[in-house]
Amino acid sequence: MSLGDLIDGVVASEKTLTVFNPVGDVTDRLAAHFSDRNISVTSARSPHGPSNYAVLSTGETFHTAVAVDELLEPSEQVEPGFERQQYAPVLDHLDETLFTSYDRDKMLAATREIEDRAWRVGAGHLYSGFQTGDNLRSQQTAYERLGSRGDLSVHAYVYPSERVPQADSFQLHLARTEEIRNSWFVVYDGNGINDYKCALVAEERPQEAGFTGFWTYDPSTVDYLVTYLQTTYASIESDGTGRRTPLPFPRYLA
């Protein structure tokens, strides 16, 4: 299952936030609040329920219910919204969060969130896809610092379409594949600690403006991404017959 397949799986797993007995413009405000999430906001009336409460669901499956005021509480904005506390408890059920039409500035801001977490932990493995050597060159100083940080192992993936910079303190993977040329990803394994695991995966798609992708804190999805990158672009794990060992699906696609 490629990185693009994972993104398509997130697209297909859209959730619905239903606001019951809304007062004023809260439905529109929530729709704007979650505009960069893979979530549809609707409203409904119920004669037996309170006003302004929201239910998160997928099809007929209930996830959680919360007062609208909790979702609309003002908080410090962190672009592009990696802080879980900002949308708790709904965000706990949005492990794979879709975004569309992100430009390079937003992608870089999202990338910095994950890189900062890896820097603070100072251990584990960080996997970053830069698409081209030019993109890596502009970030080389930062990645040399990351690669020199404690026990942090840093891997950079580039499509070798032009001169690729030399890597001194991190491992460089050159792959002449469409996936590497079109994908921007940053995956941190949290040094094996589930609470620290996070990832960003996106594609530039010809029919769409900007990048389409998702970020996640779900450990099973991060584990899948790590294994996929290791087996596809580094060493291939084999069962002894020359066949690639199947990867376990992320939880949300299982």
pLDDT tens-digit series, residues 157-195? 999 877 788 899 999 999 999 999 999 999 999 999 998
CATH code of the domain containing 142: 3.30.870.10
Phi, psi of 67 (to 5 degrees): -70, 140
pLDDT reported for residue 123:
97
pLDDT reported for residue 147:
96
At 110, is the pLDDT very low, low, confident or very high (cuts 50, 70, 90)? confident
Do residues 104 and 84 share a domain? no
Do residues 106 and 178 share a domain? yes
d(CA 9, CA 218): 14
- The DSSP code for 193 is -
In the three-class reduction of DSSP (H, G, I as helix; E, B as strand; rest coil), residue 34 is classed as: coil
124, part of any domain: yes
7, part of any domain: no
* pLDDT of 95 strictly over 70: no
In the three-class reduction of DSSP (H, G, I as helix; E, B as strand; rest coil), residue 189 is classed as: coil
Do residues 58 and 124 share a domain? no
- Please give the residue that has the higher pLDDT: either 93 or 219: 219
* pLDDT of 114 strictly over 80: yes
175, part of any domain: yes
d(CA 148, CA 140): 12
- Min mean pLDDT across 50-64, 126-140, 189-203 is at 50-64
d(CA 144, CA 154): 9
Do residues 139 and 166 share a domain? yes
4, part of any domain: no
At 93, is the pLDDT very low, low, confident or very high (cuts 50, 70, 90)? low
58, part of any domain: yes
Contact 152, 119 (CB under 8 A): yes
* pLDDT of 46 strictly over 90: no
Choose one of 90, 125, 144: the last residue of a domain: 90
**Does the predicted TM-score (pTM) go above 0.85?**
no
Choose one of 54, 70, 90: the last residue of a domain: 90
Per-residue tokens: 223: 């584990």
Do residues 47 and 125 share a domain? no
Do residues 63 and 131 share a domain? no
244, part of any domain: yes
Do residues 190 and 71 share a domain? no
Phi, psi of 158 (to 5 degrees): -140, 140
What's the CA dihedral at 21, 27, 29, 31 to 10 degrees? 150
Quick one: angle between helices 104-121 and 140-147, nearest 10? 20
Instruction: Provide the number of structural domains found in the chain.
Output: 2
Do residues 121 and 232 share a domain? yes
Domain of 23 in residue numbering reads as: 14-90
Do residues 245 and 140 share a domain? yes
CATH code of the domain containing 31: 3.40.30
Do residues 214 and 130 share a domain? yes
The radius of gyration of the chain's CA atoms, rounded to the nearest angstrom, is 20
21, part of any domain: yes
Choose one of 36, 58, 90: the last residue of a domain: 90
Is omega for the bond preceding 250 within 30 degrees of 0, making it cis?
Answer: no
Give the mean model confidence (pLDDT) for residues 44-66. 86
- In the predicted model, what is the mean pLDDT of the chain? 81
At 25, is the pLDDT very low, low, confident or very high (cuts 50, 70, 90)? very high
Strand order from edge to edge, sheet including 53-58? 39-44, 15-20, 53-58, 61-67
Per-residue tokens: 25: 């413009």
At 35, is the pLDDT very low, low, confident or very high (cuts 50, 70, 90)? confident
Do residues 81 and 113 share a domain? no
At 74, is the pLDDT very low, low, confident or very high (cuts 50, 70, 90)? low
Contact 114, 186 (CB under 8 A): yes
8, part of any domain: no
Do residues 150 and 212 share a domain? yes
